[in-house]
Amino acid sequence: MKIKFLGAAGTVTGSSYILTSQSGKSIMIDLGMFQGLPEVEKLNYLPLDFDCRQLIGVILTHAHLDHCGRLPLTVQAGYRGDIWMTPATRELTELSLFDSAKIAKQDDKEVLYGRYDVEDTISLFKTVDYHKPVEIGDFTVTFVDAGHLLGSASVEIVERISDTESKTIIFSGDLGNIPPDLLQNTEIIPHADIVVMEATYGDRLHPNEEALAVIQNEINAIESSQATLLIPAFSLERTQELLHAIMHLKKSGVVASNTPVYLDSPMAQKATLIYQKYIPLFNDHVQEDFNNGDPFNFPGLEIISTREQSQSISYSSGAKVIIAGSGMMSGGRIVGHAARFLPIATTRLLLAGYQGEGTLGRQLEEGAAVVTIDGRKINVAATVTKTGSMSSHADQQQLFDWLQKISGVKQVVLTHGEEEPRAVFAEKIKTETDIKIVVLPTLNEEVEL
């Protein structure tokens, strides 16, 4: 049994793994986009170090671009088999891939794939509910809730070696921060021989702070100064978490009901409509909110569709909140708002998620006084606040707790993490558990299990 690592090996993007059985049959788990530094993004354009025509199946853990963004390359390379995922992941992935193709064309980037490639890819999508096994060649594959994103999954893969022998490998996907704001808790798979798991926050704990209190403080601050709060947000999950939080803040009266909140992300608007179709996937609290109305709507919410409407926000006076993508400020409408409002001292910027290396968000998180946006030098006079309490990734202790609850583990492979977090987490596993084989693979390395 072997795994080849086509991404997320020393980075937090580009997730992709090829699992090959003892009989030589191969399946792919994820094929995500590389994001961040230019030298990392260039990896998207290299030929895949694997012949996709040999695959007997493809599995997708969830709809974030760093896990699904290169899927059309499999079709370009001749793959015509099934691509398996949960129903919610299917809808969100369609949205993500069409948006990715559209943005690449608009931004005059080197195009990885176009709309027709996306349509060909979607035609191969197959859905399966949580806990319902599906047979793919030598493998039995079962999805369980990872608690990270609507429809996200950890994947249990059992290889049938003989009538009496089998081997179980778990791919964690991205594991959720417990307790999640919107979703059910991350599920545990009780037994495995091998675990391939993410290590995004393998070297740190999330801050002991309440996300709701942080958001309230930021909005109250701009209400007092009649200023602007910018919140970069991913269209999937983070935007819905923010809308849900602000709904409760306005409902409780701690934020003014008439303070406008501009949702300036057409993709986030579409994603929110998809979220409203999968009420059973939410936790009890959010399901109760659904019983009382729309948990993502409130007085003062203004939906922005066109670029002209987006640009006109600059001319609105008084306190206002602008929620726009992308979450790491690597593109999208938030960049235009940043260029306009960052030089103003009363502006506030709330970074509510992970900021990848090389992104505008990371520069601002690290205190840059001057940033470059669209070739222009922009002075940063705004107050920048970072909260890790809204992270949708498990922190070190949550990762460790998840792993410890799996019996029989003989080998752990750490992926989806920068080098320092992976190394720190590997040492913790070796010193605090009986698992002594911990592998930190490199890009395109193949590891025997």
- The length of the chain in residues reads 449
Q: Does pLDDT of 110 surpass 90? A: no
User: At how many degrees (to 10) do helices 396-404 and 419-432 cross?
Assistant: 40
First vs last C-alpha separation in the chain: 6
Do residues 176 and 394 touch, judged by C-beta distance below 8 A? yes
For the chain, give the mean pLDDT: 95
Distances (CA, A) of 346 to 77, 229, 278, 423: 51, 9, 39, 40
Q: Which domains does the chain have, with CATH numbers?
A: 2-204+392-448 (3.60.15.10), 211-386 (3.40.50.10890)
Token code pair at residue 38: 């230019």
How many CB atoms within 10 Å of residue 255?
Answer: 24
Q: Using alpha carbons, list the distances in angstroms from residue 72 to 6, 30, 33, 55, 152.
A: 15, 11, 11, 14, 20
DSSP 270-309: HHHHHHTT-GGGB-HHHHHHHHTS-TT--TTEEE--SHHH
**If pLDDT is split at 50, 70 and 90, which confidence band does 247 have?**
very high
Give the per-residue pLDDT at 108: 66
> Which of 408, 434, 433 has the alpha carbon at shortest distance from 166?
408
DSSP labels, 75-144: HHTT--S-EEE-HHHHHHHHHHHHHHHHHHHHTTPPPS--HHHHHHHHTTEEE--TT--EEETTEEEEEE
- Cβ atoms 348, 381 nearer than 8 A: no
C-alpha to C-alpha distance for 117 and 98, rounded to whole angstroms: 10
The pLDDT score that the predictor gives to residue 357 is 78
> Which pLDDT tens digit goes with each residue over 117-170?
999 999 999 999 999 999 999 899 999 999 999 999 999 999 988 888 899 999
Instruction: Determine the longest span between alpha carbons in the chain, in angstroms.
Output: 72
- Please name the residue that has the structure tokens 């205190």: 367
Mean pLDDT, residues 210-235 taken together: 96
Q: If we measure between CA atoms, which residue out of 26, 33, 182 comes closest to residue 93?
A: 33
Peptide bond into 326 cis (omega under 30): yes
DSSP state of 392: S
Quickly state the pLDDT bin for 107 (edges 50, 70, 90).
Answer: low
Percent of the chain with pLDDT over 90: 87
- Using alpha carbons only, how large is the chain's radius of gyration in Å? 22
Dist CA 118 CA 83 (whole Å): 13
Are the beta carbons of 300 and 258 closer than 8 angstroms? yes
Q: What are 376-423's pLDDT values in tens digits?
A: 999 999 999 999 888 899 999 999 999 999 999 999 999 999 999 999
Q: Residue 196 — very low, low, confident or very high, per pLDDT cuts 50/70/90?
A: very high
For residue 105 the two structure tokens come to 């064309």
Task: Report the distance separating Cα 221 and Cα 11, nearest Å.
Answer: 36
Secondary element (H or E) of residue 156: strand 153-160
pLDDT in tens, 336-392: 999 999 999 999 999 998 887 788 999 999 999 999 999 999 999 999 999 988 889
pLDDT for res 216: 98
Spatial separation of the C-alpha atoms in residues 187 and 148, rounded to whole Å: 11
